[in-house]
A and B are shown apart, each in its own frame.
Chain A
């Protein structure tokens, strides 16, 4: 997989919310389930 194709996922909701407020961008919250 090309590194340019990688999504820069955060794994912390709180960090995502803080970053969303700071950058004035919506958060894309993706719930997944392993297995």
Chain B
């Protein structure tokens, strides 16, 4: 089970306001969030915009990695680049085998570029991504013309 996991519970209680709703009893909200399948996770900002979305069961480690990815995207959209970079770094430092690690490397490089406007930060980060996760769809997204 994912939710009784101590790391996941601590992340949820510390960094989020966790809300759990029965899909069948909340048709208006299910429609608002286009939720038709469960588990259906939405990381939502105070203006009710979905920052990150995940469907399907995740192991505790994958769930924790997904939460850090979501926090990274949340920080990135609020231009808190150092915070975003730290969350993305946590993903591949702590969960290098996670399905979310290539995405973390991709957006860590994006965060470094947005923070500095130095192209080398993006080029180096994406190069590391291609080297470490060559078959990942995220590596393919770095192959700019």
Contacts and interface: CB of A to CB of B under 8 A. Distances in A.
Interface of A: 1-2, 4-13, 15-17, 19-21, 23-34
Interface residues of B, number: 39
Interface string B12-43: 11011111111110100110010100111111
B6, B21, B26, B38 — most chain A CB neighbours (10 Å): B21
A31 B30 contact: yes
A6 B5 CA distance: 8
Give the interface SS of chain B, mostly helix, strand, loop or mixed.
Answer: mixed
B44 A26 contact: yes
Please name the 4 residue pairs, one residue from A and one from B, whose CB atoms are nearest each other, closest first: A16-B19, A28-B16, A31-B40, A29-B42
A5 to B, nearest CB: 5
B39 A30 contact: yes
Interface of B: 3-6, 8-10, 12-13, 15-24, 26, 29-30, 33, 35, 38-46, 48, 51, 67, 70-71, 74
Nearest to B75: A26
Given A2-B6, A20-B44, A30-B40, A10 B19 contact: yes
Nearest to B2: A7
Contact of A29 (B15, B21, B67): B21
